[in-house]
Amino acid sequence: KQEVTQIPAALSVPEGENLVLNCSFTDSAIYNLQWFRQDPGKGLTSLLLIQSSQREQTSGRLNASLDKSSGRSTLYIAASQPGDSATYLCAVQSTGNQFYFGTGTSLTVIP
């Protein structure tokens, strides 16, 4: 069974810093990996989707990379802002079309 781990569980940084969130998974047979953000009590907002054949995706200040062979993905956030404060979740779509989520990284950006 696929297991997804996110480190760190919580992160607090001053505004303007660049930061990296990590996601690891145990089974490299995946279709894609998706990063989401979740604000308290709300649903998930899709940030980036990386297909299994891709190495990275970029959107604005966000860059996500994927290394299938090592079972790792990173989400890089440049020049962090207080509005980036949220929980960030990664999810892998495994063969069989099931999605497995990590437990998330809670990010606080201090003004």
Residue 28 carries which side chain, given as an amino acid letter? S
- DSSP 3-state of 83: helix
Residue count at the site for other proteins (CB under 8 A)? 26
Q: Is 96 in the site for other proteins (CB under 8 A)?
A: yes
Residues 6+ apart with CB under 8 A from 91: 4, 33, 34, 35, 36, 99, 100, 101, 102
Task: For tokens 């998930």, name the residue.
Answer: 44
Out of 21, 23, 24, 36, name the contact with other proteins by CB under 8 A: 36
Q: Is 54 in the site for other proteins (CB under 8 A)?
A: no
Out of 18, 45, 58, 59, name the contact with other proteins by CB under 8 A: 45
Give me the residues that bind other proteins (CB under 8 A), please: 31-32, 34, 36, 41-46, 49, 51-52, 89, 91, 93, 95-104
